[in-house]
Structure 1
Amino acid sequence: MDANQQTRANPFGMDENCRNCPALCETRSQVVHGYGDVGADFLFVGEAPSAGADRVGVPFAGDDRAAAFQRILQRLGLCDATSDLERPELVNVYLTNLTRCRDPDRAPTDQEVDSCEPFLNAEIRMINPEIIVPIGERALTEIGEEYTTTPAADLSLPDCHARAIRGRGFELVPMIDPLEQTDEQTQAWVEGFAALMASDYRQTKGRRKR
């Protein structure tokens, strides 16, 4: 699987007509694969496409949740404040979800998360991020159980919000859903992530220099 950085939308050319979850084929507008910089240090992972993402085909885009999320990235210099809400200009960031299709009435089932796992695993392997940001409880549980040795009972929000957790070759910095954060929680996450960005966060694992 080769990356195509001429496009930030689905740069790995993943299956846009996937029918592994028949029920979701009836409720989705489109399959929403990852978006952003294929050489990014920072990988953000949500649970499933929002209504806006389902409409525009880009994770964390096109609605109020996207606006709140992008404002956080803008404060860190990771998103151009003048860019289109539906096609944000990201810097050193890649966005994706556990699942690629939306049901407007329910959260993804365990089977649907399992069906999409190869897509997420391929993105993590190809991007080889330094920092993974699970957004929301479900993303934290799935990413934490797969990629850390931290006991599942110790992985929960809001306790882990803005707290760096050692993973296998990278760190996790969990985030509460942007629409559910208080101003204080947003400030804590921004300050914590800014400090991490200013530190020597890169691991020794054969990454190319940026």
Structure 2
Amino acid sequence: MDAEQDSLANPFSMDAACRNCAALCEARTNVVHGYGDVGAEFLFVAERPHPGADRTGVPFTGDETGERLQRILAELGFARTAPGAEEPDLQNAFVTYLTRCHHPDRGPTDEEIRTCEPYLNAEVRMINPEIIVPIGQRTFDALAIDYTTKRPGDVDVDAAHATTIRGRGFELVPMIELEAQTDERTDAFVEHLLENVFARDYRQTKGRRGR
């Protein structure tokens, strides 16, 4: 895979017709791979595509849930398009999922998360972000073993929302599920990044290539 920024959509040319999970192939509309700036310092990860993203094929678009994250990205200066854009213009942010297919009746199984893990691992390796934002408890737990010194279940994401946790070469800023967020909790997350992450040199977490 190559990190050239030819496109914001699936910039690493991952398999857009993936059939690794038989139970999802007939239920999904699109395989939704990551989207954004391949040189991003901030990586946002949710559990699975929401209905809008399944329809459009672009992460966090096509519905109110996606629009909430787009609003957050805009307020942080990562999106140069207004919330609700069908193809957000992102800079310094990459958005992706643990699993790449939406099932209308259920969340992903543990096996489906494991099957999709190589896609996420490849994106993390290629992007080499400074800050990872796990969205939701299941996402944090899935990332905990590889990217933190915590075990699954050690961190309550609801309590840790809008705080910073030191990881293994990264910092993590947990976020509760977008569907569960009030405007107050969204504002608290944005405020934490602006006042506590942007205000200091978060690059001290590890060595970083020049930009």
Indicate the residue corresponding to 2:201 in structure 1: 200
The structural deviation recorded for 1:83 is 7.0
In structure 2, the residue corresponding to 1:27 is in which secondary structure? coil
Q: Share of identical aligned residues, percent? A: 59
AA of the residue aligned to 2:89 = E
**Residues 36-115 of structure 1: matches in 2 within 5 Å?**
36-82=36-82, 85-115=85-115
Indicate the residue corresponding to 1:146 in structure 2: 146
> More deviation in 44-53 or 83-92?
83-92
Find the aligned partners of 2:68 and 2:183 in 1 and give their Cα distance. 11
Q: TM-score, normalised by structure 1?
A: 0.95
In structure 1, the residue corresponding to 2:133 is in which secondary structure? strand
> More deviation in 195-204 or 173-182?
195-204
The structural deviation recorded for 1:205 is 4.4
CA RMSD of superposed structures (Å): 1.5
Q: Is the 8 A contact 2:67 2:83 kept in 1?
A: no
Gap regions ≥5 residues in structure 2 = none
Find the aligned partners of 1:82 and 1:176 in 2 and give their Cα distance. 22
Find the aligned partners of 2:91 and 2:102 in 1 and give their Cα distance. 27
1:150-203 deviation line (CA, Å, top 9, x unaligned): 243331221110110111111000111223112221121111111202210013
Q: Is the 8 A contact 2:141 2:151 kept in 1?
A: no
AA of the residue aligned to 1:93 = A
AA of the residue aligned to 1:201 = Y
> More deviation in 169-178 or 72-81?
72-81
The structural deviation recorded for 1:4 is 3.4
Structure 2 residue 32 is matched with structure 1 residue 32: yes
In structure 2, the residue corresponding to 1:44 is in which secondary structure? strand
Indicate the residue corresponding to 1:178 in structure 2: 178
Q: 1:153 to 1:77 in 2, by over 3 A?
A: same
Find the aligned partners of 1:153 and 1:14 in 2 and give their Cα distance. 31
